[in-house]
Structure 1
Amino acid sequence: MSPPPLVVVAGPTATGKSDLGVALAVELGGEVINADASQLYRGMDIGTAKLRPAERAGVPHHLLDVLDVTQTASVAAYQRRAREIIERLRAAGRTPVLVGGSGLYIQSVLDDLEFPGTDPALRARLEAELAERGPQAMHARLAELDPAAAEAVLPTNGRRIVRALEVIALTGKPFRARLPEPGPPRYDAVLLAVDRDTAELDARIARRVARMFAAGLVDEVRGLLPAGLADGPTASRALGYQQVLAELPGGDMARAAVDTVVGTRRFVRRQRSWFRRDKRYTWLDGAAPDLRERALAVVRGRAGSPA
């Protein structure tokens, strides 16, 4: 039976998606496409838990290390590039395996999302307001206008808050209202989501953050400062990097680690809420000893579906 045209491995941070994605790509004769916004950036390796080349089992990975830290990550640009790669892999008889936890990025590939333009004057006003009032106050405003959007956007992510408010002002509709109701996914994809028990996942996050700081996250951040990390509109807000930057040059890195754990746990709850709303996913327990076999059973159950 032929493999499906696209396999998606999604879900919250630290559940084991990356390893499962590689295992499926090996079994299906496929290649991995990154769907983690922070892993788009060159040099942001430790804090994003980017798989090292030796951990990729020889599987080609796409859309890793494609942006400088001063560049803005764009969902619209990601949608275009990811779809181009999917089409190319399919034409070559390879199975694309889209892996990550950035829900909007994944949905942009699966569904017919259209991205409204921008109004430079409006954007400038909102950014000035952000600089004056801070992201928390702007997030509270977003929560009044569009509670669903506010739930999906971190209160510290000023760039995304500004973008959501801009779209609301331009379209007169809630930001989330522009997302289509999930129908049959593009490419007739098989959608898998990995999760774990909340207490277990909280413990995994704490261990993961400890390993990142022990492995040199602070030095990685320092090394990216000459490249412009502190001024990067998207990269500087990534979990771990944001917390370390807040403590440099001589702050308390133990506090940065604690703040990273707290921020990551909050982010996980937002990720879980996002993916749980999409009923097309088949959920898998990341702690299951036969996780790979369970995932393959789902994929093989859909094998041979028309594209």
Structure 2
Amino acid sequence: MEPSKLPLIAVVGPTGTGKSDLAIALARTLDGEIVNSDALQFYRGMDIGTAKLAPEERGGIDHHLLDIMEVTEEASVAQFQTQARTCFEQIRSRGRVPVLVGGSGLYVRAALDIIDFPPTDPAVRQRLEAEVERHGEAPLRSRLAAVDPISAGRKLDLRRTIRAVEVYEISGRAFSSFMPERRYFQPAIQIGLNLDRTLLHGRLAARVHRMDEQGLETEVRGLIPAGLRTGRTSSRAIGYQQYLDFIDGKLTRESAIEATVIATRKFARRQITWFTADDRVTWLDPTEDGIIDRALEHIQQGTIHS
């Protein structure tokens, strides 16, 4: 398979399924370079808690969009789209194939699909946040139900609810109206990894315990002076939020570990729901033999039929 004739390849699915390993193997075989789409791996210093591969673990493959932000910054899907597509163009210019990897569903779609991003206005958002501080969530959620029942029916968390009302106030359009049809901006193939639920849960629990042993507490303590507590995204990241509570004496180490395990399982469940809704994803079981060959076979078939 000649790299210049291959479509963009994306390896997606829930956390803990071995996406990075498969992406490295595919990049090595196909003369590719990897583009990260895990939003938390954008942050410098957030390594253990995001399962970020160390440079020596990246198989000699060039990785892009890792460690590009400070923990005080807020990730932007629209900005990521521009950055990812710039990476794709640069990789193509070197005669190689881009391999996108990550489990942040909206970021994957931003990179792959034609998307009209809703507008943003920090002043409007700050006003809405202040209203929630004064009056609680209920009035805001009622307002969203009145102007965008589809988004309200999705039971968004508070942050996304504020965002949905912000979008409506700025544009007069429902937040839900900005979600596009599933249409690639250029030819692409998505390979999804998933596991039996019991096995996946066991893997995730083991990984959280391993993160604790590797020094997640030390990592979190080291990020506090860098502004972790004030980071809107980073401070709420799974593991980091729980270990901040542990450091503050709100949780014991054991309860922080357990809370992180539970949050990780819930996150994996949301990822599975997101990616299984996309019928363009071909699913593979990473525990079965010959997964790399099966992935390459699918890429070959997709290339022939595209």
| Structure 1 length-normalised TM | 0.90
Aligned length: 302
Question: Are residue 272 (structure 1) and residue 272 (structure 2) matched?
Answer: yes
Q: Deviations over 1:131-170 (max 9, x none)?
A: 44667996797688455577585x3xx5444223312443
SS in 2 for 1:181: coil
Q: Name 2:12's counterpart in structure 1.
A: 10
Identity rate, percent: 49
SS at match of 1:112: coil
Distance 1:247 1:265 in 2: 20
Is the deviation greater in 199-208 or in 289-298? 289-298
Equivalent pair of 2:119/2:171 in contact (CA under 8 Å)? no
Which residue in 1 is equivalent to 2:242? 243
CA distance in 2, matches of 1:130, 1:215: 38
2:28 corresponding residue in structure 1: 26
Q: Any stretches of 5+ residues in structure 2 without a counterpart?
A: none
The within-5 A match list for 1:1-307 is 1-3=1-3, 4-132=6-134, 145-146=148-149, 151=154, 155=157, 158-183=158-183, 185-250=184-249, 251-303=251-303
Conserved in 2, the CA contact under 8 Å of 1:159 and 1:234?
no
- CA distance 1:140–1:210, change in 2 (3 Å): farther
3-state SS in 1 of match to 2:186: helix
In the TM superposition, what is the alpha-carbon distance from 1:177 to its structure 2 partner? 2.7
Q: Counterpart of 2:34 in 1: which secondary structure?
A: strand
SS in 2 for 1:303: helix
- Secondary structure of 1:97's counterpart equals strand
Cα distance change, pair 137–297 in 1 and its aligned pair in 2 (3 A): farther
1:216-262: CA deviation from partner (whole Å, max 9, x where unpaired): 00110000000000100111111100111122233412111111111
Q: Distance in 1 between matches of 2:195 and 2:127?
A: 42
Partner SS state of residue 67, structure 1:
coil
Q: Aligned partners of 1:179, 1:36: CA distance in 2, in Å?
A: 20
**C-alpha RMSD of the superposition:** 2.3
Q: TM-score, normalised by structure 2?
A: 0.91
* Range that drifts further, 252-261 or 38-47: 252-261
Residues 118 and 178 of structure 2 are in contact (CA less than 8 Å); yes or no, is this contact kept in structure 1?
Answer: no
Q: Which moved more, 1:131-140 or 1:285-294?
A: 131-140
Q: Output the CA distance in 2 between the equivalents of 1:172 and 1:294.
A: 47
Q: Kindly tell me: are residues 73 and 121 of structure 1, through their superposed partners in 2, closer, same or farther at Cα, counting changes over 3 Å?
A: closer
Q: Separation in 1 of the partners of 2:258 and 2:142?
A: 25
Indicate if the aligned counterparts of 1:41 and 1:66 stay in contact, CA closer than 8 A.
yes
Tell me by how many angstroms 1:121 deviates: 4.0
Q: 1:135 to 1:22 in 2, by over 3 A?
A: farther
1:122 Cα shift? Answer: 2.5
**1:33 and 1:62 in contact (8 A); partners too:** yes
Alpha-carbon distance in 1 for matches of 2:201, 2:288: 17
Residue 176 of structure 1 aligns to which amino acid in structure 2?
S
